[in-house]
């Protein structure tokens, strides 16, 4: 897999984190344009992430059945169309629908891009390929707030969605002209692996119930979610353990390596999204710094992660996957521990922001090194 094709795949993959992080700066403008509350506009973020989680198992199953290259192309084309719908949305409800469609197509992009890189890169170059790939994706997440601020300041929030369409078109053209081997164009069981729609429906219901509990715990919807959670969880575990081709196989968690990897991804995702939500509030309201300083502080996670990701990938090619993952995870844990003690004692001013950025750089450095080995 040459670097040009890798860039083509990455240009599609960066749409998912970039579109997620740069929207944060536009939420106040969206509130004003559609005259909705802060809690309502926050659903643009929560519904996007929730739809991604629900669609990921379906995207993976469809990639196994129809081929990851086809799934990637469907994802980027669909993402472009959904972005145009969001840019021209006449109402807040239409914008929410467009965000759900973006999330679903983004899941196709995410699963397809990882499969394309893994299948096309030689075994001895896979770590380096993923390191370069992760560097581009991490960088897109890091610059999202800056890009969003520039677009909102110079044009309008709708242009954030409209400009995603040509990027998706570049990705579709690059991968569409690429003629990879059979291992990329099809999954392990092309045309024969059934899709577990029942399991996916149970999982979607489980996630919807969890979101209802988190977002509206004191309302009737929240109470229904509390009652439904244990039922759906038990039903999902029971059904998936008995079906031949489960979308979410609970038996995989009996493997220590798989369970540890899932826990690591869950923790890393929580760190990434929590950072982009909480750090700007901490910097601007507690440290009394400017939004520009908040954007620079955010580079401590994603920017440094973009630098250490290729280093971790190359290290895994030379010494194996275990060492970069263990060392990177340890560095991340040290950074988080320091943040735990720093945040309550943080003082206003640029100095506090500098210390916060340095500690986030430690977290981001470990995060990038641990995330690249595949």
- Dihedral angle sign, alpha carbons of residues 94, 99, 101, 102: positive
CB 167 within 8 A of CB 15: yes
Please state at what angle helix 126-154 crosses helix 256-281, rounded to 10 degrees. Answer: 20
Q: Give the model confidence (pLDDT) of 9-52 as tens digits.
A: 777 787 887 877 777 777 777 878 888 876 677 778 777 877 88
Q: How large is the greatest C-alpha to C-alpha distance in the chain, in angstroms? A: 61
Residue from 132, 147, 8, 152 nearest 69 by CA:
8
The pLDDT score that the predictor gives to residue 53 is: 75
Query: Which pLDDT does position 283 carry in this prediction?
Result: 75
Give 155-193 pLDDT, tens digit per residue: 888 888 888 888 888 777 777 766 555 444 444 444 456
Domains and CATH numbers, the chain: 1-196+243-248 (1.20.1250.20), 253-374 (no CATH)
pLDDT digits (tens, 9 = 90+) for 188-216: 444 456 777 788 788 888 877 877 777 66
Residues 6+ apart with CB under 8 A from 179: none
What average pLDDT does the segment 56-77 reach? Answer: 79
Taking CA 237 as the corner, what is the angle to CA 110 and CA 67, rounded to the nearest 5 degrees? 30
Burial class (CB in 10 A: 0-12, 13-18, 19+), 73: buried
Average pLDDT, the chain: 76
Number of neighbouring beta carbons within 10 Å of residue 97: 16
Q: Where are the alpha helices (DSSP H) in the chain?
A: 3-13, 15-22, 27-34, 38-66, 68-87, 92-120, 126-154, 158-162, 164-177, 182-185, 197-215, 220-240, 256-281, 291-319, 322-342, 350-371
Contacts of 270 (CB under 8 A, 6+ apart): none
Cβ-in-10-Å burial (0-12, 13-18, 19+) of 144 comes to buried
Cα(230)–Cα(166) distance, integer angstroms: 44
- The number of CA neighbours under 13 Å toward the Cβ of 58 is 20
pTM of the model: 0.66
Q: Give dist(CA 81, CA 99) in Å, integer.
A: 11
DSSP class of residue 162?
H
| pLDDT exceeds 90 at position 85 | yes
């Amino acid at each position: 897999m040459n670097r040009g094709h890798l860039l083509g795949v990455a240009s599609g993959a960066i749409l998912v984190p970039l579109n997620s992080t740069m929207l944060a700066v536009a939420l106040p403008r969206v509130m004003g344009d559609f005259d909705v509350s802060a809690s309502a506009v926050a659903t643009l973020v929560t519904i996007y992430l929730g739809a991604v989680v629900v669609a990921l198992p379906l995207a993976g199953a469809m990639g196994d059945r129809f081929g990851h290259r086809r799934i990637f192309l469907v994802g980027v084309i669909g993402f472009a169309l959904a972005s145009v719908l969001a840019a021209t949305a006449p109402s807040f409800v239409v914008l929410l629908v467009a965000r759900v469609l973006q999330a679903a197509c983004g899941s196709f992009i995410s699963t397809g891009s990882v499969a394309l890189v893994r299948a096309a890169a030689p075994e001895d170059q896979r770590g380096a390929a993923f390191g370069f790939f992760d560097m581009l994706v991490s960088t897109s997440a890091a610059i999202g707030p800056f890009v969003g601020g520039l677009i909102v300041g110079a044009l309008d929030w709708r242009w954030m969605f409209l400009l995603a369409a040509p990027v998706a078109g570049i990705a579709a053209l690059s991968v569409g002209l690429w003629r990879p081997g059979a291992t990329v164009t099809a999954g392990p069981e092309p045309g024969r692996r059934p899709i577990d729609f029942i399991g996916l429906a149970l999982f979607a219901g489980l996630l919807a119930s969890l979101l209802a509990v988190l977002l509206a715990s004191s309302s009737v919807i929240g109470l229904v979610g509390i009652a439904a959670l244990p039922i759906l969880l038990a039903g999902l575990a029971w059904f998936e353990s008995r079906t031949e081709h489960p979308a979410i196989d609970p038996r995989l968690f009996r493997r220590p390596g798989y369970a540890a990897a899932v826990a690591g991804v869950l923790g890393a995702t929580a760190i990434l999204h929590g950072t982009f939500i909480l750090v700007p509030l901490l910097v601007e309201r507690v440290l009394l710094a400017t939004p520009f300083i908040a954007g620079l502080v955010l580079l401590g996670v994603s920017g440094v992660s973009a630098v250490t990701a290729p280093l971790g990938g190359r290290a895994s090619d030379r010494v194996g996957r275990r060492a970069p993952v263990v060392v990177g995870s340890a560095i991340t844990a040290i950074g988080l521990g320091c943040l735990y003690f720093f945040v309550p004692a943080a003082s206003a001013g640029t100095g506090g922001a500098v210390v916060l950025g340095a500690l986030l750089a430690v977290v981001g450095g470990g995060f990038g090194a641990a995330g690249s080995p595949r």
